Amino acid sequence: MGRPAERPVPTSADVARLAGVSRATVSYVLNNTSAVRISEPTRRKVREAAEELAYIPHAAARSLRAGHTRIVLLPTAHVPIGPLHSRFLNELQWALRRLDYTVVQYGSLGLDGDEAARAWAELRPVAVVSLGEIALTPHGVEILKRSGAKAVITLGPRRVEGAHALVMDQREIGNCAVDHLLERGRRRIGVVMPEEPGLELFSEPRLAGARAAAASSTGARVEPVPLSYTEESAGALAARWGGLDLDAVYAYNDEYAMLLMRALQDAGVDIPGDVAVLGADNLLLGKLLRPRLSTVRIDLVTGQRLAALVDRVVRDPGGEPERHDLMGALAVRRESS
Amino acid sequence: MGRPAERPVPTSADVARLAGVSRATVSYVLNNTSAVRISEPTRRKVREAAEELAYIPHAAARSLRAGHTRIVLLPTAHVPIGPLHSRFLNELQWALRRLDYTVVQYGSLGLDGDEAARAWAELRPVAVVSLGEIALTPHGVEILKRSGAKAVITLGPRRVEGAHALVMDQREIGNCAVDHLLERGRRRIGVVMPEEPGLELFSEPRLAGARAAAASSTGARVEPVPLSYTEESAGALAARWGGLDLDAVYAYNDEYAMLLMRALQDAGVDIPGDVAVLGADNLLLGKLLRPRLSTVRIDLVTGQRLAALVDRVVRDPGGEPERHDLMGALAVRRESS
DNA sequence: TTGAAAGCGCTACCAA
DNA sequence: TTGGTAGCGCTTTCAA
C-alpha cells in the first residue's frame, strides 16, 4: 500500500493488452453491446483482465466520443433557503440519479447571469434546472441551448424567455396569506421582508401577491416590514410596533413568524387579539408555540415529478416551452390568526 | 429563434477557420498562454470570431487532454441532516468554487460502498470529500486513488483506512451534553435517539459519548430514548415519562428537544424542575421557548477552512493521511437545564 | 467473431 | 509569431 497513485490509471488499452484482444472487443464486452456477438471465453478473459487491473472507464472520454453527456446541472443557492427547499433539492437529485443522470451542483458565486451560463455550458449539460436564485437571462438560455442543452428549466419566481418554464409562483403564497388574514377580518396587514440578502427573490413576489390580494378588498392596507433573523431586530421591531398600527402580520415564513411572535408577546402584544400572526412552510415547530402558529402550507412539486419532467423534455426537446404551475398554497389556521 | 439547437455546437476549429488562423493559435489566445507571444491584431481576430460564434470550450475535452480534472466530488446525504449541516455544505461548495474547483454532488442511492466508489471514479475527481453518510471502505478509497484522486477525505464519525481523515467526532457532542447535565447535578439521564433512518450515523456516536461521560461519574445512568419527529411520538413518550425515572434528557438536537420539551410541559412535567432538557445546534428558535432551551453549541470547521485543506492535500498528496479534529462542542446553559 | 482505425475537442510540443 | 500535428480514452463503423 506504498504509493498506489504512482502507476498510471489503467485504460481500456491496458485491459485489451492483458486480455490479448483489441480495444474494440473490450468495449463490446464491458458495455454488453448487443449488436455484436462475442464468444464466452473472450468475454471472460476481458472481464478478468478488467477486474485485475481495477479498470474504470473514463466518463469524460466516453461523453466526448458520444457527443453528449447525461449531466443535469443544478445551479446552487447562494443562501440557504429553508428546510422545505433543501428537502426538495435532495429529492430531485435522488430522482435524477435514478434516471441515470449525473447531477452537478454548480455554485455560481459572483457570476452574473451570462457569465454563469457560459461557465455551465462548458460542462455541456444535457439539462439545466435553475432554481431561480441566479438570474438567468434569455441570452443565457440561448447560450446553453447552443451548447447542446436539451432542456433549460427555470423553477422559480421569474419566467425566462426561451426556457421551459416551470413557474413556481411565489406570489401565490403572499396572496393566500393575505386572503386568509382578510377573511379573519383583518385590514391593516404587515408583510415581513427578511433583510438577509438573497431572499428578495422570494420575498418580493410574496409581497406583490399580498398587495394583489389586498387590492381586491376595500379598506385593506399592506405594509412591508423589514426584519432580520436576530432577536435584536425582532425586539426593535416589537418596540416600535404600536406606531405601525397593524392588526395582522404575514411574517414571510414560520421561522421569522416564530421570532416575531415571541418578540411581540414579550412586548405585551396579545396574539391573536391585538395582532394576527401568520407564517409559511407549515413547520412542525410552529405547533409547539402558544398560541399555535397559523401558517401557509406550501405544496411543492415533488422532486420525482420534476425529474420525470426533465427527462421528458430531454427526450423530446421539440415541444413548446411549457409553463407549469408547480406550487399550491393553502392557509392552515391554528391559533395565532 | 426557430430551432437554434439545430446547428452543431461550434468548436475551436470553427473559430480558427473563421479567424483564418490555426487551432493552436485559438487555444493560445483564449487561454492567454504566457509562453507564447501572439500579435495584437491576431488576438483581436480570434476574440471576435469566438464572440461571433458564441464559442464555448468543451470541459471534457480539455480535461481529457490535460489528464486530470478539477472536480471535487461530494457524495450527498440520503437524508436531510439538519440546518447546521446544510449550511456547512453550502459554505464548502462556495469556497471550493472560489478555488476554481468544480463541485459535483453525487447522490449514491442504493449503491454500496465499492459500487459507489467505482461510480465516482468514472468522473476522475481530483478529490472526494465524503461527509460520512455513505460507508467508504478502505477498498473504495484504494479505487479512488488508483483512478487519480489526489485527496480522499472523510468527514464524519468514522475513520477510514487510507483516506485523509478529517474526523468529526460526534461523540464529543454527547460527551459534552452529559458532562453539562452531570454538572447540574443530574444523574438519571435520557438520550433521545431519533427514529428517522439515516440519523444513526450521528446519534449512535453521540450516545457512545454520553455513555463515556456518565461512566466517569459514580451513580450516573444513561438511558437511550427512541423518538420520532412527530407530535404523536413526543406525546406518547411524555405519557410514559413517569415510568422512565429520569431527571434529565439530552434530546439529540434542538429540534427534537423543542418537540419533547413541549410534550413534557403539556403532560405537566416541570422543566427544569423535574427534568432538565438539553438540545444541540444552538438554533435561534430555542431561545424563543420558555424556559429558554439549553443547548450544545457545535463549532464545525468552516467550509472555507475545509476547502483550503482540500486544496492543500490536492497540491501535496504525498503527506501522511492526517487526522484532524474539526469539531468543538460547548454547552450553552439557558433555562431548561 | 474480432481487429484496425477514425475521430470526438482540446492543448502543447516542435518546426517553420 | 504562427501552424502542423500527436494524442488524451473511448466507441463504432468497416473489413477481415
pLDDT digits over B133-157, tens only?
677 888 999 999 999 999 998 876 6
Residues forming beta bridges with residue B226, ordered by sequence position: B193
Question: What distance in Å separates the CA atoms of residue A102 and residue B77, rounded to the nearest whole number?
Answer: 15
Question: What distance in Å separates the CA atoms of residue A88 and residue B310, rounded to the nearest whole number?
Answer: 28
pLDDT at B192 over 70: yes
Q: Residue B295: its pLDDT value, please? A: 98
Search chain B and give the residue with CA nearest A260: B288
Q: With an 8 Å Cβ cutoff, are A285 and B285 in contact?
A: yes
Question: What distance in Å separates the CA atoms of residue B331 and residue B206, rounded to the nearest whole number?
Answer: 14
In angstroms, what separates the C-alpha of B232 from chain A's closest C-alpha?
A: 12
pLDDT band at B62 (very low <50, low <70, confident <90, very high): very high
Q: Which three cell numbers stand for residue B97?
A: 468554487
Domains of chain B, each with CATH number or no CATH: 12-57 (1.10.260.40), 69-167+301-325 (3.40.50.2300), 171-299 (3.40.50.2300)
CB neighbour list of residue B113: distance below 8 Å, 6 or more residues apart: B134, B135, B136, B137, B139, B140
pLDDT at B202 over 90: no
Q: Which of A6, A56, A68 to mutate to test the interface with B (most CBs of B within 10 A)?
A: A56
Question: What distance in Å separates the CA atoms of residue A257 and residue A290, rounded to the nearest whole number?
Answer: 13
Cα angle at B175 between B169 and B176, to 5 degrees? 100
Q: Residue B28: its pLDDT value, please? A: 95
Q: What is the mean pLDDT of residues B100-124?
A: 86
Tell me the nt nearest to A16, Cα to C1'.
Answer: C3
CA-based radius of gyration for chain A: 27
**DSSP H helical ranges for chain B:** 12-19, 23-30, 40-53, 59-66, 83-98, 113-121, 138-146, 171-183, 200-215, 231-239, 241-244, 254-266, 303-315
Exposed/middle/buried for residue A320 (C-beta within 10 Å: 0-12, 13-18, 19+): exposed
Q: Indicate the pTM of the whole model.
A: 0.83
Exposed/middle/buried for residue A249 (C-beta within 10 Å: 0-12, 13-18, 19+): buried
Q: Could you tell me the distance in Å between the CA of residue B15 and the C1' of nucleotide D14?
A: 32
Question: What distance in Å separates the CA atoms of residue B289 and residue B287, rounded to the nearest whole number?
Answer: 6
Q: Residue A167: its pLDDT value, please? A: 65
Q: Residue B69: its pLDDT value, please? A: 96
Q: What is the mean pLDDT of residues B317-323?
A: 70
* Mean pLDDT, chain B, whole residue set: 89
Residue type, B224: P
Tell me the nt nearest to A39, Cα to C1'.
Answer: C1
Question: What distance in Å separates the CA atoms of residue B227 and residue A96, rounded to the nearest whole number?
Answer: 31
Look at residue B192 and give its three-state secondary structure: strand
DSSP code of residue B8: P
Q: Residue A323: its pLDDT value, please? A: 66
CB neighbour list of residue B296: distance below 8 Å, 6 or more residues apart: B173, B176, B177, B180, B278, B279, B280, B281, B282, B329, B330, B331, B332
Q: With an 8 Å Cβ cutoff, are A118 and B56 in contact?
A: yes
More confident residue, B83 or A249: A249
Q: Residue B4: its pLDDT value, please? A: 44
Q: Residue B88: its pLDDT value, please? A: 82
Q: With an 8 Å Cβ cutoff, are A86 and B80 in contact?
A: yes
Q: With an 8 Å Cβ cutoff, are A56 and B86 in contact?
A: no
Cα–Cα distance list, A136 to A301, B69, B284 (Å):
21, 27, 33
Q: Residues 63-122 of chain B: which lie with beta carbon within 7 Å of strand C?
A: 64-66
Look at residue A294 and give its three-state secondary structure: strand
CA-based radius of gyration for chain B: 27
Q: With contacts defined as CB-CB under 8 Å, which chain B residues touch A83?
A: 80, 83
8 Å CB contact between B175 and B210: yes
pLDDT at B333 over 90: yes
In angstroms, what separates the C-alpha of B5 from chain A's closest C-alpha?
A: 6
DSSP code of residue B246: -
The 10s digit of each residue's pLDDT in B221-267 is 999 999 999 999 999 999 999 999 999 999 999 999 999 999 999 99
Tell me the nt nearest to B35, Cα to C1'.
Answer: C12
Q: Residue A161: its pLDDT value, please? A: 74
**DSSP H helical ranges for chain A:** 12-19, 23-31, 40-53, 59-66, 83-98, 113-121, 138-146, 171-183, 200-215, 231-239, 241-244, 254-266, 303-315
Q: With contacts defined as CB-CB under 8 Å, which chain A residues touch B231?
A: 284, 287
Q: Return the nearest residue to C7, CA–C1'.
A: A65
Asked if omega into B272 is within 30° of 0 (cis), the reply is yes
Q: What is the DSSP string of A108-159?
A: -TT--HHHHHHHHHTT--SEEEE-SSS---HHHHHHHHHTT-SEEEE-SS--
Question: What distance in Å separates the CA atoms of residue B314 and residue B53, rounded to the nearest whole number?
Answer: 36
Question: What distance in Å separates the CA atoms of residue A79 and residue A196, rounded to the nearest whole number?
Answer: 9
Q: Is the CB of A42 under 7 A from strand C?
A: yes
Q: Is the CB of A226 under 7 A from strand C?
A: no
Nearest CB neighbour to B284, from listed A80, A146, A229: A229
In angstroms, what separates the C-alpha of A119 from chain B's closest C-alpha?
A: 9
Nearest CB neighbour to A60, from listed B60, B107, B108: B60
Question: What distance in Å separates the CA atoms of residue A41 and residue A283, rounded to the nearest whole number?
Answer: 60
Q: Residue A199: its pLDDT value, please? A: 85
pLDDT band at B35 (very low <50, low <70, confident <90, very high): confident
Note the strand D nucleotides within 7 A of protein beta carbons.
Answer: 1-13
Q: What is the mean pLDDT of residues B180-194?
A: 97
Per residue of chain A (337 residues), what is the pLDDT tens digit? 334 445 789 999 999 999 999 999 999 999 999 888 889 999 999 999 999 999 999 999 999 999 999 999 988 766 656 667 777 888 888 899 889 999 888 877 667 788 899 999 999 999 999 876 677 888 999 999 999 999 998 876 667 777 776 767 788 999 999 999 999 999 999 999 999 987 888 899 999 999 999 998 889 999 999 999 999 999 999 999 999 999 999 999 999 999 999 999 999 999 999 999 999 999 999 999 999 999 999 988 788 888 998 999 899 887 766 666 778 899 999 999 9
Give every strand in the sheet of B221-227, ordered side by side: B221-227, B188-194, B248-250, B276-278
Q: Residue A72: its pLDDT value, please? A: 95
CB neighbour list of residue B245: distance below 8 Å, 6 or more residues apart: B188
Q: Return the nearest residue to C9, CA–C1'.
A: B61
Q: Residue B36: its pLDDT value, please? A: 84
